[in-house]
Amino acid sequence: MSIFQIGATLFALFMMYVVSIHKNKSKLSLIEMSFWYSMWGLFVIIALFPDLLTGITQRLSFQRVFDLLLVLALMVLTVLVVLSYFMQKENQKKLEEFVRKQAIDERKKAN
């Protein structure tokens, strides 16, 4: 077992702990908690047994499993950044509407 595999496994276990903390604070539903536990469990399996992805790597013409995982990680990060951007824009619009409504209500009360 390499130092990377040990580090990746410890990281995944730590993230499972973080998920359990947020579940205990009622910030995550049972479905969300199950999803995150599944994702981190899959992460541990891939970290400990990277040879499981060798067939997929060869079929997609990647030289190494690491290359495949890197491309997949960048794709996931790109999706998360784009979704986060859209949610931020939506929240900004809602906040502007709320502040505008509050200002109009305050102006009506002052008159």
Residue 87 within a domain: yes
Asked, for residue 54, whether it belongs to a domain, the answer is: no
Q: Which domain holds residue 90?
A: 65-111
Residue 59 inside a domain? The answer is no
Pair 75, 44 in one domain: no
Centre a 10 Å sphere on the Cβ of residue 28 and count the other Cβ atoms it contains.
17
C-alpha torsion sign, points 13, 46, 70, 84: negative
Are residues 1 and 42 part of one domain? yes
Give pLDDT tens digits along the chain (111 positions). 789 889 999 999 999 999 999 998 888 888 999 999 999 999 999 889 888 888 889 999 999 888 888 999 999 999 999 999 999 999 999 999 999 999 999 998 887
Instruction: Tell me the whole-structure pTM to 2 decimals.
Output: 0.69
Same-domain pairing of 72 and 97 = yes
Is residue 105 in some structural domain?
A: yes
Number of domains, the chain: 2
